[in-house]
Amino acid sequence: MHLTNWVSLAFLVFAVLLFYSYQTPLFFSSRNMAQESPKSIYDFTVKDIQGNDVSLSKYSGKVLLIVNVASKCGFTQSNYKELNVLYEKYKNQGFEILAFPCNQFAGQEPGSNEEIQEVACTMFKAEFPIFDKIEVNGKNTAPLYKYLKSEKGGLFVDAIKWNFTKFLVNKEGKVVERYAPTTSPLKIEKDIQNLLGSS
């Protein structure tokens, strides 16, 4: 009788383990499929500065420089000036700059979308697209920026350190490089040329 109980218990444990070994992978795989991670920036939709949805797949096949911008930063004047130079030089060769205003760094982008557009396009003569104001760090981080940071982490931490952090994206929508706010846009020119030259 004692032996029978042990055999029954062993069989029960074996049956439970067998059940979970079959069920658990299935459970995890279906859950992972539901939360499938993005494969490129083309999987994202963002809002333009007028609040309209823009699928980033419209930039498929282009080299992109994605920048978090601010109107009242010490880097503002030099960055907008050099971004304009790059845009003018390469926009007809398949290059785009996507600018995302952000007010998370010392409140240096406090204006409304209309005010931001006025400053960027009138004062700084930006011709490249300016998008809706977003957050790039914290619990309200825009999904695009979660992806950018996961693809190219920063020095010591992945968080965006300041205004004018730059991400370079290739023609397949993959993040290939991240540049610190202190890196001037013209220092990125050679990397842009290399990506534009690749088929």
Q: What does the alpha-carbon distance between residue 93 and residue 17 come to, in Å, rounded to a whole number? A: 59
Beta-carbon contacts of residue 169 (< 8 Å; ≥ 6 apart):
41, 63, 64, 65, 66, 175, 176
Average pLDDT, integer, range 32-38: 58
Tokens of 170: 């290739």
Specify whether 73 is catalytic. Answer: yes
**H-type alpha helices, 75-188:** 76-90, 113-118, 143-151
pLDDT at 18: 46
C-beta atoms surrounding 54 within 10 Å: 17
- The candidate with the shortest Cα–Cα distance to 101, out of 63, 145, 133, is 133
Confidence bin at 12 (pLDDT 50/70/90): low
Residue 196 confidence (pLDDT) above 90: yes
Query: What distance lies between CA 132 and its chain's CA centroid?
Result: 14
Residues 185/106/119/65 CA torsion (nearest 10 deg): 30
Catalytic residue among 63, 64, 73, 120: 73
pLDDT tens-digit map of 172-186: 999 999 999 999 999
pLDDT tens-digit map of 137-166: 999 999 999 999 999 876 667 899 999 999
pLDDT at 191: 97
pLDDT at 111: 86
* Angular region, 164: left φ>0, alpha ψ -120 to 50, beta rest: left
* Radius of gyration for the chain, computed over Cα atoms and rounded to the nearest angstrom: 24
Residues 104/52/60/43 CA torsion (nearest 10 deg): 70
No. of H helices and E strands in the chain? 5, 6
pLDDT at 121: 77
% of the chain residues with pLDDT over 70: 79
How far apart, in Å, do the first and last CA atoms of the chain sit? 76
Q: What does the alpha-carbon distance between residue 111 and residue 50 come to, in Å, rounded to a whole number? A: 14
Confidence bin at 195 (pLDDT 50/70/90): very high
pLDDT tens-digit map of 71-103: 988 889 999 999 999 999 999 999 999 999 999
